[in-house]
Amino acid sequence: MSARSDALARATAYVDNGEFEAELARLVAIPSESQVPEGLPHCRRYLCQEIVPMLADLGFACDMLENPFEGCGPVLLATRHEGAELPTVLGYGHGDVIRGLDDKWTKGAGPWQLARDGDRLYGRGTADNKGQHLIDIRAMATVLEVRGHLGFNAKMLIEMGEENGSRGLREVIAAHKADFAADVFIGSDGPRVRPDRPTISLGNRGAVNFDLVCDLREGGHHSGNWGGALADPATILAHAIATIVSPRGEIRVPEWRPEPIRPLVRELLDGVELDGGAGGPEVEPDWGEPDLTPAERVYAWNSFAVLAMLSGIPESPVNAIAPWARAHCQLRFIKGTDAGDVLPALRRHLEREGFHGAVRVSEPPAGNAAGFAASRTEPDAPWAAWVREAIQRQSGQAPAVLPQMGGSICNDLFTDLLGQPAIWVPHSYAGCSQHAPDEHVLLPVCREAMELMTALYWDLGESGGPA
């Protein structure tokens, strides 16, 4: 057996013999919720108790960087330096999790106790993101165990506030820019396009949240006495929204429509299917931009959604014309969209459509503002091609290559602030219930991910990356 084959066998054995499950159980047991004050001490404990010892045992020097924002968790930068002539890889994970929603779980024993049901491991953070960065760390450990060295310099960034919008991470990186310098960023977060198809994401869509408000008067008025004489704010707001998108969700604000999709991107997305796995939603092919595939609509186009809408008292309706109506909306957008013009463009559009003064566009409270930037690494960039070929060589199938994932993450900190090509190799799937009760990972996906990441790190240590 070659040394490389030995490393791959050890990688899959780590999942098969229960070690992965046991280590993940310890990580899940720490309730590192970053959105509530009581979770903050656990965020620090997660790093100090589990991740720092794990990385220190692998020869990483660990530096805890304090977050400049009050109430936000620290940032860990761990570094293993093997040689000035070697390439440097920056990895990523976030140890904070979304709220546990303890009383809503129907599987396992709640969010903080790992539970196995067949091939599923349930627990908060299994998919988002404790299980994913654990795989990457243990894949490097496997290479070190067999070869004795990585063959490249490795840096690992573990933040504790991603579920809080990564508040403070930009400031931390900017203050220590040289320490985070690397030739390439290779991290793991998000889902595969299908559980059985390895996936590479080269960026993320940005997000802007905002409110549409039609506020006409003080108080409601009897619908029998005033119906037909007073304007209905809900009706006005509904018509305003109908000018933003067509009945099938096609965007009608000119400035929100991207440039035509590049031929290379269309080629990469050809045959990519959206699959949430068992229990996931079915794709609705007649929703969204005409003449695009569902994959192109999610990974290479912009989308608008009404996330919440309210008028009157829905839980207890009365015979009164409501005084106001409000919709909480979101635009997800790809790189190339002018983020600073998203809301001004909408205001201009509504004015052209005759809603001047009737419907107000306002930014929502800070907690719902989203605000991630859109960014990506081009699919023909050398590092993107190298990672794609390495995964295909090991898996025996061409990975799905997404120009940007449908969701949002702090990718621009790596591509724009640090100037690194950024490649994401996700180890979860779309039906994992992240952010919801019953979050879980699939053991077959984790097993394959351990093998793929071990092979990727092994090959990088041998070849040094793209020529």
In CATH, what number is assigned to the domain containing residue 256? Answer: 3.30.70.360
For residue 467, the model assigns a pLDDT of 82
Domain stop point among 307, 341, 368: 368
The pLDDT of 358-383, averaged and rounded, is 82
Q: Model confidence over 221-243: pLDDT tens digits?
A: 999 999 999 999 999 999 999 99
Asked whether residue 65 falls in the same domain as residue 167, the answer is yes
Kindly list the distances between the CA atom of residue 263 and the CA atoms of 149, 266, 269, 376, in Å, as whole numbers in the listed order.
41, 5, 10, 16
Asked whether residue 15 falls in the same domain as residue 108, the answer is yes
Enclosing domain of residue 302: 206-264+290-368
Has residue 285 been placed in a domain? no
Asked whether residue 251 falls in the same domain as residue 358, the answer is yes
Q: Dihedral sign, CA of 208, 297, 416, 175?
A: positive
Q: Check pLDDT > 90 for residue 397.
A: yes
Mean pLDDT of the chain: 95
User: Phi/psi of residue 31, each to 5°?
Assistant: -80, 70
CATH number at residue 194: 3.40.630.10
Asked whether residue 321 falls in the same domain as residue 353, the answer is yes
Asked whether residue 9 falls in the same domain as residue 112, the answer is yes
Q: Check pLDDT > 60 for residue 370.
A: no
Asked whether residue 242 falls in the same domain as residue 128, the answer is no
Has residue 102 been placed in a domain? yes
Asked whether residue 238 falls in the same domain as residue 257, the answer is yes
Q: What is the pTM of this model?
A: 0.89
Asked whether residue 361 falls in the same domain as residue 390, the answer is no
CB-count burial class (<10 Å; 0-12, 13-18, 19+) for 33: buried
Beta strands at 184-187 and 88-94: parallel, antiparallel or unpaired:
parallel
Percent of the chain with pLDDT over 70: 97
The pLDDT of 234-260, averaged and rounded, is 97
Q: Which two tokens stand for residue 214?
A: 């039609």
Q: Check pLDDT > 70 for residue 140.
A: yes
For residue 283, the model assigns a pLDDT of 87
Has residue 433 been placed in a domain? yes
The pLDDT of 452-460, averaged and rounded, is 98
Q: Check pLDDT > 90 for residue 182.
A: yes
The pLDDT of 141-159, averaged and rounded, is 98
Has residue 275 been placed in a domain? no
The pLDDT of 94-111, averaged and rounded, is 95
Asked whether residue 298 falls in the same domain as residue 156, the answer is no
Q: Model confidence over 311-342: pLDDT tens digits?
A: 999 999 999 999 999 999 999 999 999 999 99
Q: Model confidence over 65-100: pLDDT tens digits?
A: 999 999 999 999 999 999 999 999 999 999 999 999
Q: Are 27 and 134 in contact (CB under 8 A)?
A: yes
Q: Check pLDDT > 60 for residue 436.
A: yes
Has residue 25 been placed in a domain? yes
Has residue 379 been placed in a domain? yes
Domain stop point among 368, 387, 419: 368
Has residue 281 been placed in a domain? no
Query: Considering only 210-214, 368-372, 459-463, which range has the smallest mean pLDDT?
Result: 368-372
Q: What 3-state class would DSSP assign to 399? A: coil
Asked whether residue 330 falls in the same domain as residue 413, the answer is no
Has residue 273 been placed in a domain? no
Asked whether residue 425 falls in the same domain as residue 362, the answer is no
Domain stop point among 368, 394, 411: 368
User: Phi/psi of residue 50, each to 5°?
Assistant: -115, -55
Query: Considering only 230-234, 272-276, 291-295, which range has the smallest mean pLDDT?
Result: 272-276
For residue 366, the model assigns a pLDDT of 60
Sequence letter at residue 59: G
Q: Check pLDDT > 60 for residue 393.
A: yes
Asked whether residue 186 falls in the same domain as residue 219, the answer is no
Q: Are 305 and 298 in contact (CB under 8 A)?
A: no
The pLDDT of 150-179, averaged and rounded, is 96
Q: What 3-state class would DSSP assign to 237? A: helix
Count of domains for the chain: 2
Q: What 3-state class would DSSP assign to 208? A: strand
Q: Are 37 and 56 in contact (CB under 8 A)?
A: no
Please list, residue by residue across 398-423, b when 16 or more beta carbons sit within 10 angstroms of its beta carbon and e when fewer do. ebbbbbbbbbbbbbbbbbebbebbbb
